[in-house]
Amino acid sequence: MTSTTLHRRQFLQTTAAIGASALLPTLGLAAEKSPLFKISVAQWSLHKALFAKKIDNLDFAQIAKDEFGIDAIEYVNQFFKDKAKDTKYLAEMNKRAADHGVKNLLIMVDGEGQLGAREKEKRAQTVENHKKWVEAAAKLGCHAIRVNAASSGTYEEQIELAADGLNQLTQYAETHELRVIVENHGGYSSDGAWLAEVMRRVDHPHCGTLPDFGNFRVKGNSWYDRYEGVKELMPYAFAVSAKSHDFDENGNETRTDYNRMMDIVLDAGYRGYVGIEYEGSALDEYAGIKATKKLLERTRNELTQVYG
């Protein structure tokens, strides 16, 4: 077990202990059990409405709470791309979240270059491009930014390049008490063994993963096994993305066995937030988020019988 994995396990155990102690009643009555995991919602679940300007980024917190009864959210930088350094705007985001009792968890960062770029100068520029999002996430009270480990070259070359870029960015994020977490998001990052090796090379307690249940297409029609991939990434996880597309007549997701997947997540010791990320088309975005939440709640209830 690497030092980073040990730190991450200690973090999860400490967080669970703090959460449990916070629920202890002052009169010594039996403590209410903490849920096995908490549910958040990723802003990408509403990307169609956001791109169509039917809703605004500033309304995300209220929508999460009022429409879905969810009190933790994950932003996507695409929906406030020019606001990373706008302190007034970020303050308004904070106010909106606080007004509705919603916690800002992280910012998913796209479109800022390849952290594993082959050229040293481009890699450095990509790190620089991400710094403003580290600062924005800190202002929003988030615990992390989600990044991509894009690169080029051979399997081994891309491990070295991605690890170098991530290490540089993580060193900066640490000064803001934030984490840099990588999602399996295409290319070799969707190869669980590859991304796990990148984490081992970085070996930093502020760098980890955000396993996504569905993003395991390496390229073309080449897919990595999603269950094996999540299992490989969970030792480094600081967040989890419950990807959903379609549901059968019993409310089960048709591409992912949620009981099997969440068993993998919980078996790794994870007790944090699981973020809904609906990408389907059969249901509208609001209905898709609600269906995913219902499935996660049912799965949580069933697995509570196993994990207590």
**Predicted pLDDT of residue 16:** 45
For the stretch 249-305, pLDDT in tens is 999 999 999 999 999 999 999 999 999 999 999 999 999 999 999 999 999 999 999
Backbone torsions φ then ψ of 75, nearest 5 degrees: -80, 160
33: pLDDT confidence band, cut at 50, 70 and 90? confident
Which of 71, 49, 52 is CA-nearest to residue 61?
71
Mean pLDDT in the chain? 92
**What is the arithmetic mean of pLDDT over 106-120?**
98
**Predicted pLDDT of residue 166:** 98
C-alpha distances in Å from residue 29, one per residue of 19, 24, 26, 234, 308: 17, 8, 8, 35, 19
For the stretch 67-87, pLDDT in tens is 999 999 999 999 999 999 999
For the stretch 208-246, pLDDT in tens is 999 999 999 999 999 999 999 999 999 999 999 999 999
- Strand 38-42: give its sheet, edge to edge: 207-210, 179-183, 144-147, 103-108, 72-76, 38-42, 273-278, 240-244
**Predicted pLDDT of residue 308:** 78
205: pLDDT confidence band, cut at 50, 70 and 90? very high
Which of 277, 197, 275, 258 is CA-nearest to residue 232?
197
**What is the arithmetic mean of pLDDT over 167-189?**
97
More confident residue, 211 or 4: 211
Percent of the chain with pLDDT over 90: 89
Where does 90-238 show beta strands of DSSP type E? 103-108, 144-147, 179-183, 207-210, 217-219, 222-223
18: pLDDT confidence band, cut at 50, 70 and 90? very low
Which of 103, 114, 116 is CA-nearest to residue 144?
103
2: pLDDT confidence band, cut at 50, 70 and 90? low
User: From CA 93, how far away is CA 113, in angstroms rounded?
Assistant: 26
